Amino acid sequence: MMFAMVGTNPYSFDRMVRPLDMLAGKYHWDIHIQLGHTDYIPVNCRYTDFITREKMLEYIDKSNVVICHGGFGSIRDALAFNKPVVAIPRRPEFNESQDYQEEMVREMEKDGYVIAVYDIEGLESAIISAQGFVPEKRPESRIPGLIEDFMYG
């Protein structure tokens, strides 16, 4: 199965969900969508508006591809399970968010952590190429070490 999430962002993200739903119908994909505040109601996918963190991690674990908006938390949670991630940054000019998600998604893409989709026409090929995509290994963060040294150094 595939899992798609738009996070808790208060803006609707029809630009991601509608084409994804169409693709699910075309390819008979088994997709569960966390809809959040999205207006569009899927017809080919299972969906819930919001789920507990535990349930979300369960869905990620069970899926073979994760499709998500360009939220740092969503991408981080998917990468924690080493899943192929297709990340679609929300655009404020389309009334999809207040913040720009593109800069962070581009950095993630540059480091080989995600497959990015900026123009939604690319969603189909991105999901297909995500099957079998292995994200680059993430280096251990130095932050706990920096904090420990600062506290006890």
d(Cα 148, Cα 32) in Å, to the nearest integer? 40
By beta-carbon proximity to another protein, the closer residue of 24 and 114 is: 114
Q: In what order do the strands lie in the sheet with 85-88?
A: 46-48, 31-34, 2-5, 65-69, 85-88, 115-116
Tell me the angle at which helices 53-62 and 72-80 cross, rounded to the nearest 10 degrees: 50
DSSP H helices, 4-115, are 14-27, 53-62, 72-80, 102-110
User: What one-character DSSP code corresponds to residue 137?
Assistant: P
In contact, 130 and 103? CB cutoff 8 Å: no
Closest contact distance (angstroms) between CB of 2 and another protein is 21
By beta-carbon proximity to another protein, the closer residue of 42 and 70 is: 70
Closest contact distance (angstroms) between CB of 68 and another protein is 13
**x/- letters, 42..61, toward another protein (CB under 8 A):** ----------xxx-------
Figure out which of the listed residues 10, 119, 132, 139 binds another protein, where binding follows CB under 8 A.
139
Q: Does 93 bind another protein (CB under 8 A)?
A: no
Binding residues vs another protein (CB under 8 A) = 8, 52-54, 71-73, 76-77, 79-80, 99-100, 103-104, 107, 113, 138-139, 141-144, 146-148, 150-152
